[in-house]
Chain A
Amino acid sequence: MGEHRASLTVPVEGMTCASCVSHVEGALRQLPGVSDVAVNLAMGKASLVIEDDRTGLADVRQAISDVGYGVPEAEATLDVRGMTCASCVSHVEGALKGLRGVEGASVNLGLGTARVRYIPGAVTMGQMRRAVRDAGYEAQERSAGADALDRERQARQQEIRRQGRNLAIAAAIGMLVMTGTFYDMLGPLQAVVPVWLSYKWVLGLLTAPIVLGPGRQFFAHAWRGLKHGVTDMNLLYATGIGAAFGIAVINTAFPTAGFGGEGATFFESAALLTAFIVLGRWLEALTRGRTSESIRKLMKLQPKIARVLRDGTEEEIPADEVEVGDLVLVRPGESVPVDGLVRQGYSAVDESMLTGESLPVEKKVDDAVIGGTINRSGAFHFEATRVGKDTALAQIIKLVEDAQASKAPIQKLADWVAGHFILGVHMLAIVVFVFWFFFGYRMFFDPQSGFILSPYRLGDIGVFGFSLLLSVTVLVISCPCAVGLATPSAMMAGAGKGAENGVLFKGAEAIENTSKLQTIVFDKTGTLTKGEPSVTEVVALAEGHRAADSDNAGGDRKEFLLRLAGITEKNSEHPLGEAIVLAAREHGLPLTEPESFMSIPGRGVEARVDGLALLLGNRRLMAEHAVDLGGLQAEAERLEADGKTAMFIAVDGRAAGLIAVADTLKDHSREAIERLHQLGLEIVMITGDNRRTAEAIARQVGIDVVLAEVLPQDKAEQVKKLQAQGKKVAMVGDGVNDAPALAQADVGMAIGSGTDVAKETGHVILIKDDLRDVVTALEVGRATMGKVKQNLFWAFGYNMLGIPIAAGLLYPLSRVIVSPELAAAMMALSSVSVTLNTLLLRRFEPSSDRKRRGTRGVGRWLGRLSPANAGAK
């Protein structure tokens, strides 16, 4: 096969017959440089040989789609080990994207994963693994759920152990090297330290195992990367350690060679440099996994074992082997293994993770149960309806994982900087070396000058030694790790924190956008209000009708009217009618069948009940039947001003009273709006209702901007208008009915989705039907972005300050320079401090939780679970 020829196999979608085969083959043969085309209908694949320089995979895909077929994509997640900084991210992404057949790759440094979109057949998992390995890392395909969790934990613990061992070696021997180096300053301690420890060749012998042992990993990774055209943090370490050790060896072996002699041996630099870098790696391994603790907690909730009834016998099987339709038995204290419907028994289940309800929820026949929740009291059987990756818990875990693996827009700059950082620093190291070699040394060098935080004097170090020292320090002090970790670590913690509180962000972008919101648009019905109209008042005229007086002597005139209205509306499907029937039933009123019933669209109903002619409806209905409303008019206007709908009742042609029906506010609407106002947001209510009703509801809840009489299909347009004013807008609504508006908004928040989160539209999903979670989403978003900004400020600030100081910028004035070992310590602390700062987010608590302390949200639920009962049954 020629240099530019490659064989290719791509899957083809949509082929049904032999003519499809010839269409696809014909289309492919027409491409330049394509030969040996063979399309297999049964396998749905096309094999061909292409000349790389004439036709690419994109051309092949285009040719297939031009004739009406498709080339499907698949997605895989790889666990990538060995990534330490953001430049690693771009290397791994670059390596994967460079493969023919890979359509996209997104690497998450914090999680240590690479999500790859690829064309099956055009590239194999083995090729992906090899590409990642060639770039200097290790990769393997990620397994799902608990396996992935176990594997990730194992890998992390292995890394902690490995770096811990390296650290123990480097630190112990490094201390000996330090002691030997500063032997002259030990004073009385010289009596217990043998003098030979200060001999240069002994120091060299002690340092060698550090450089070649714990330090070997940096050289190996750096070389592997360089061979494939990539540079990462390991290269900085390797250059720094290598230069310090190399010069020390030369000055020890050939003290008269002119490199500074024995006064410029840097064995302790090489030893401590390695020890500090390894310390940084160890601390990173310790802390990094903790930012994804929330996902681990969620995964722990997945029950491992289920007890199913098959052929009348009870079998214990792995929970992921439960099939839809299986009858599952749950005993008190056990976890519900999958989602389903209760078929037998009665119990109370703790499902506070989804509802926030602290008290266990009663479960009887036909009630839904959710996998991962805990059965508190009785035993029951349920029929599995959703299993495996379709369960509510699996969907939630998937959403959180996706969010943690995605990249926020703010990360792009950090990624770019970190990706170019290493080369930039090496270029700077050349510039620094050249400057001090040719100009700086002769202009500013003072033999009495020394290192920061060190009694060591530079003494008779020569021009080369001095310039090299500064050049190496620049390499060592620079830390792209901190820049690379700043955003993803905070995003991971933020997405997890949201999930703990019942707020699911569908990506890092959603978190970032949520933090920037200025205006929040609430849908009225079903969001601010319960969405179920209910009777709020019944007004009965004192002289309504003789029947009322005779039948209810001493009784309740209002109940009489409500009963008549209930009977009238008994067969109605109108929401207002249903509200009246419900109210009548709640009052225990007997609802017989009406003698006659006629619905008059846009007006109301006309019926005959107990021999009485009844009219129930609006003013127009009354006017058309010449009913004098008299004193009811003022009452109706008062009720309407409060956002209620007044329905008049006339009996035998005379006004008898009215019934007010209104949609009532949800329990926490007012509190949520108040807190959003306190956070400085503009709150808008959008509804299809008439303005008077809308404004009344808005007054009750404390909203000052009302968009009334907006048809459902126009809600998105209204959101667009607000965005055109330059505002960052969130739309809060029902994930199904308000889908277009949710999609149009910068942040669409679907509220009260319950368990079927995968179907929800919107960028943020609020599992509970509690408006205070809008506030929580905002607080989580702001806290997360606050952390991102702090981390980026620290990471960039550290490098922008540290690098010039290491380059000797202050030396002409201060006469001190940063030693390579101090630079290494600062570098290690820099990346660890970013992770530690992110971990502070674990302490975050939404303001609503501070008020309702103790009972609500996944976090509270998770917190109450002991590992023992969180695991399996």
Chain B
Amino acid sequence: MDDEKSDGDLARRSARVYAPLALGAGALFYLAAGWTGDLGPVARLGGSVWVAILSLIVSMPLVTARFKRRSRR
């Protein structure tokens, strides 16, 4: 029971880090795409969603594993 509770807590704390990271990467992409000037809004939006998804996939295990390690210490 305690384990499950602490797992949930760990997941929430990790999400507070990787979610902004992924969204930040997506937002950065959106801004960069806008800055080039000649890309349509749909491509910009689609691209930033894809970058955010991939960033989430990359950052989620890294951040979660880091939190896990820290909690074990």
A426 touches B58 (CB 8 A): yes
Report B26-73 residues with CB < 8 Å from chain A CB.
Answer: 29, 32-33, 36, 39-43, 46-47, 50-51, 53-55, 57-58, 60-65, 67-68, 72-73
A430 touches B43 (CB 8 A): no
Cα separation A134 to B7 with both chains bound (whole Å): 10
* A464 in the interface (beta carbon within 8 A): yes
B51 touches A229 (CB 8 A): no
* A467 in the interface (beta carbon within 8 A): yes
Partner of B46, one of A100, A127, A468: A468
Partner-binding segment picked from A287-295, A340-348, A433-441, A713-721: A433-441
When C-beta atoms are compared, the residue in chain A nearest to B56 turns out to be: A226
Interface extent on A, as a size class? 35 or more
* A429 in the interface (beta carbon within 8 A): yes
Cα separation A230 to B54 with both chains bound (whole Å): 15
B50 touches A438 (CB 8 A): no
Partner of A226, one of B2, B42, B47, B57: B57
* B11 in the interface (beta carbon within 8 A): yes
Cα separation A199 to B57 with both chains bound (whole Å): 33
User: Do most interface residues of chain A lie in helix, strand or loop, or is the interface mixed?
Assistant: helix
B46 touches A53 (CB 8 A): no
- Nearest Cβ on chain B to A606's Cβ, whole angstroms: 79
Cα separation A750 to B44 with both chains bound (whole Å): 69
Give per-residue flags for A265-278: 1 if the beta carbon is below 8 A from chain B beta carbons, else 0: 00000000000000
B32 CB contacts on chain A under 8 angstroms: 438
When C-beta atoms are compared, the residue in chain B nearest to A235 turns out to be: B57
User: Do most interface residues of chain B lie in helix, strand or loop, or is the interface mixed?
Assistant: helix
B54 touches A426 (CB 8 A): yes
Known A434-B29, A434-B51: A464·B43 in contact at CB below 8 Å: yes
How many A-B pairs have beta carbons closer than 8 Å: the answer is: 86
A1 touches B2 (CB 8 A): yes
- Nearest Cβ on chain A to B45's Cβ, whole angstroms: 9
When C-beta atoms are compared, the residue in chain A nearest to B53 turns out to be: A239
Cα separation A689 to B28 with both chains bound (whole Å): 81
Interface extent on B, as a size class? 20 to 34
Cα separation A134 to B4 with both chains bound (whole Å): 11
Cα separation A226 to B60 with both chains bound (whole Å): 7
B68 touches A229 (CB 8 A): yes
When C-beta atoms are compared, the residue in chain A nearest to B44 turns out to be: A464
* A427 in the interface (beta carbon within 8 A): yes
Cα separation A235 to B53 with both chains bound (whole Å): 12
A239 CB contacts on chain B under 8 angstroms: 53-54, 57
When C-beta atoms are compared, the residue in chain A nearest to B51 turns out to be: A430
A423 touches B46 (CB 8 A): no
Partner of A438, one of B14, B36, B40, B53: B36
Known A53-B73, A423-B58: A229·B65 in contact at CB below 8 Å: yes
Partner of B50, one of A134, A227, A258, A468: A468
A471 CB contacts on chain B under 8 angstroms: 50, 54
Give per-residue flags for A36-54: 1 if the beta carbon is below 8 A from chain B beta carbons, else 0: 0000000000000000110
Cα separation A229 to B63 with both chains bound (whole Å): 7
Report A127-141 residues with CB < 8 Å from chain B CB.
Answer: 127, 130, 134
Which of B7, B61, B67 has the largest number of chain A CB atoms within 10 A?
Answer: B61
B42 touches A433 (CB 8 A): no
Known A430-B54, A433-B47, A433-B51: A231·B42 in contact at CB below 8 Å: no
- Nearest Cβ on chain B to A462's Cβ, whole angstroms: 6
* A257 in the interface (beta carbon within 8 A): yes
A427 CB contacts on chain B under 8 angstroms: 58
* A228 in the interface (beta carbon within 8 A): yes
- Nearest Cβ on chain B to A398's Cβ, whole angstroms: 34
B46 touches A464 (CB 8 A): yes
Which of A1, A127, A437 has the largest number of chain B CB atoms within 10 A?
Answer: A437
B54 touches A258 (CB 8 A): no
Partner of A433, one of B2, B36, B41, B50: B50
- Nearest Cβ on chain A to B4's Cβ, whole angstroms: 9
Q: Which residues of B line the A interface, CB within 8 A?
A: 2-3, 6-7, 11, 14, 29, 32-33, 36, 39-43, 46-47, 50-51, 53-55, 57-58, 60-65, 67-68, 72-73
What are 8 A-B interface contacts by the 8 Å CB criterion? A53-B73, A226-B57, A227-B64, A230-B65, A239-B57, A430-B55, A433-B54, A434-B51
Which 3 pairs, one residue from A and one from B, show the smallest C-beta to C-beta distance?
Answer: A229-B64, A258-B42, A229-B65
Given A226-B57, A229-B65: 19 more A-B contacts, CB < 8 Å: A3-B6, A98-B72, A130-B3, A226-B60, A226-B64, A228-B64, A229-B62, A235-B57, A239-B53, A259-B43, A423-B58, A426-B58, A429-B54, A430-B54, A433-B50, A433-B54, A437-B39, A437-B43, A463-B43
